[in-house]
Amino acid sequence: MLSLAPEKPKAAAASHPPVERETLLIEVEGVRKAFPGVVALDDVSFRLRAGTVHALMGENGAGKSTLMKILAGVYIPDKGVYRLHGRDIALTSPLDALENGIAMIHQELNLMPFMSIAENIWIRREPLNRFGLIDHARMYQMTRELFAQLSIDLDPEAKVASLSISSRQMVEIARAVSYNSDVLIMDEPTSALTEHEVAHLFRIVRMLREQGKGIIYITHKMNELFEIADEVSVFRDGHFIGCKRVEQLSHDEVIRMMVGREITEMFPKTIVPIGEVALEVEHLTLDGVFHDVSFSVRQGEILGVAGLIGSGRSNVAETLFGVSPASSGQIRINGQAVSVDSPRTAMQHGMAFLTEDRKDTGCFLNLSIQENMQISVLGGDNLKAGFVRQQALDSMCAAMSGTLRVKTPNLDERIENLSGGNQQKVLIGRWLLTNPKILILDEPTRGIDVGAKAEIHKLICKLAGQGVAVIMISSELPEVLGMSDRIMVMHEGRVTGIVDRADATQVSIMTLAAG
């Protein structure tokens, strides 16, 4: 693999494309932000022009989220100039930013689940009737008009709790638009969306761009960058690396700017001998969720699972692992029919399950890395008269985090202080310690940076090489196509096809996924 020495971060201002002053919405220069013990941003500059989509890219910890939070008034910079419409400004809070025409759409949704869509959108700005009470009819009407403008098809009176994640995302976007802001900040808005919904989102983004708004778009996904962005600013280790027009850039150049080295091989797929059938599933059904799912995985095989959000892919994984036991159907492991009624029994049958949501069902955020990693192996030889053999576990976990290259000074650190990629490695380590024969991975590389992603891909291939049967669910088609031996595609709770690696293309998979 070719690798260049990491380039030195360059001086900032020099590399902005020339621009007419009056089209500048936001201009930031020499911004610095330090947290106790770490400089998150140093001497960073950034310009947002009206009527453009400006992507921010960089690995996790590069500083793009910090910059975004400064722009949105969440953080107050230690140093530097922030000009909005050419005037110096010092934002004190997100509300302050909103009132200055800067709206942010959070990666994690901030909606009140038991209030209606309309109430969520117009909160703090509810239309009042002549008695000073909230005029619900008008509020719903305003919402319908807003939705018509954005071609969103949702009932303004519905409770947010009843909506899917992607619909909630649409409500967030509508709310941001409703403020008539000049600047919209979107933090990985597509991470919970299906391809279809992404297309819808992009239509909205383009429409807003036509209206002369500036859109700051944070993403990890390269194809989105080329599809939607006009300009891109790249950050690395808290420094501004450069800003370019997208059409002047290639895929590889962006990655090179982000990591300071070439990544020539995106997917390190190695062909390994495929062994016996490890897991066989027949007519597996969870009433109301998925139906008649049948497939098998062999030792050393990677079975990719593709499908849009809501297709039931994650539910199948949860059922296999006993999180929500099946209503009917059969699971056979090494030819033997087994009943999996809890994660515990699944583990006894040699399964391991890396869940989709690191924070909700993976990490014990306020416990240490050590405690997080060892939790599933507190039994057998690691237990002596009820007491945990901590020394043995310490060295096991130290060895594991060495193998997985978890970046941390020591394992007593709280897991919440790690980046997403490192948290993911710790969770993978947790499962590898159980010595699984069948490994179920749900979105193993979601929301983690390019470098860590490649390492995890390599690891998955290595495990397959050791004879582990791998089931890998992913929303990223390149990942599914690049890693899998076979790909199972689901649509609305049913399997619509199982495709061999050789026959699989983006188009064939998407066709099956769309039903």
- 312: tokens are 């039931």
Minimum Å gap between C-beta 512 and another protein is 29
Minimum Å gap between C-beta 66 and another protein is 5
Per CB under 8 A, the list member of 86, 127, 379, 402 interacting with another protein is 379
Question: Is residue 365 involved in binding another protein (CB under 8 A)?
Answer: yes
Residue type, 23: T
Q: Which is nearer to another protein, 40 or 483 (CB)?
A: 40
Q: Which is nearer to another protein, 36 or 288 (CB)?
A: 36
Residues 243-272 that bind another protein (CB under 8 A): none
Question: Is residue 418 involved in binding another protein (CB under 8 A)?
Answer: yes
Reference 45, options 71, 7, 21; nearest CA is 71
- 172: tokens are 């967030």
Per CB under 8 A, the list member of 403, 405, 407, 465 interacting with another protein is 407
Counting beta carbons within 10 angstroms of the beta carbon of residue 273, is it exposed (0 to 12), middle (13 to 18) or buried (19 or more)? exposed
Q: Which is nearer to another protein, 251 or 359 (CB)?
A: 359
List Cβ neighbours of 424 (8 Å cut-off, separation of 6 or more): 354, 358, 444, 445, 448, 452, 456
Question: Is residue 169 involved in binding another protein (CB under 8 A)?
Answer: no
Minimum Å gap between C-beta 41 and another protein is 10
Question: Is residue 378 involved in binding another protein (CB under 8 A)?
Answer: yes
Question: Is residue 107 involved in binding another protein (CB under 8 A)?
Answer: yes
Question: Is residue 35 involved in binding another protein (CB under 8 A)?
Answer: yes
Q: How far apart are CA 416 and CA 62, in angstroms?
A: 17
Q: Give 318-380 as a DSSP string.
A: HHHTTSS--SEEEEEETTEEE---SHHHHHHTTEEEE-S-HHHHT--TTSBHHHHHHGGG-SG
Instruction: Kindly indicate which of the ranges 327-335, 362-370, 477-485, 489-497 contains the residues binding another protein, using the contact rule CB under 8 A.
Output: 362-370
Q: Which is nearer to another protein, 59 or 301 (CB)?
A: 59
- 93: tokens are 């809070």
Do residues 338 and 506 touch, judged by C-beta distance below 8 A?
no
Minimum Å gap between C-beta 267 and another protein is 23
Q: Which is nearer to another protein, 74 or 134 (CB)?
A: 74
Question: Is residue 65 involved in binding another protein (CB under 8 A)?
Answer: yes
Parallel, antiparallel or unpaired: strands 53-57 and 231-236: parallel
Binding mask 427-466 for another protein (x = CB under 8 A): ---x---x------------x-------------------
Question: Is residue 4 involved in binding another protein (CB under 8 A)?
Answer: no
Minimum Å gap between C-beta 148 and another protein is 30
Minimum Å gap between C-beta 42 and another protein is 12
Binding mask 293-312 for another protein (x = CB under 8 A): --------------------
Per CB under 8 A, the list member of 350, 362, 444, 493 interacting with another protein is 362
List Cβ neighbours of 229 (8 Å cut-off, separation of 6 or more): 53, 54, 55, 217, 246
Per CB under 8 A, the list member of 230, 253, 413, 476 interacting with another protein is 413
Parallel, antiparallel or unpaired: strands 214-218 and 486-491: unpaired
Reference 179, options 129, 110, 128, 105; nearest CA is 105
Reference 439, options 470, 462, 466, 463; nearest CA is 470
Question: Is residue 376 involved in binding another protein (CB under 8 A)?
Answer: yes
Question: Is residue 335 involved in binding another protein (CB under 8 A)?
Answer: no
Residues 183-202 that bind another protein (CB under 8 A): 187
Q: How far apart are CA 508 and CA 515, in angstroms?
A: 11
Question: Is residue 38 involved in binding another protein (CB under 8 A)?
Answer: yes
Q: How far apart are CA 446 and CA 454, in angstroms?
A: 12
Q: Which is nearer to another protein, 126 or 237 (CB)?
A: 237
Q: Output 367-371 pairs: Cβ under 8 A, ≥24 positions apart.
A: 367/414, 367/415, 368/411, 368/412, 368/413, 368/414, 368/415, 369/397, 369/401, 369/406, 369/408, 369/411, 369/412, 369/413, 369/414, 369/415, 369/418, 369/426, 370/394, 370/397, 370/411, 370/412
Question: Is residue 416 involved in binding another protein (CB under 8 A)?
Answer: yes
Do residues 404 and 424 touch, judged by C-beta distance below 8 A?
no
Binding site for another protein (CB under 8 A): 35-38, 40, 60-61, 64-66, 69, 106-108, 187, 237-238, 321, 323, 342-344, 346-347, 353, 355, 359-367, 371, 374-376, 378-379, 383, 386-388, 390, 407-409, 413-414, 416-423, 430, 434, 447
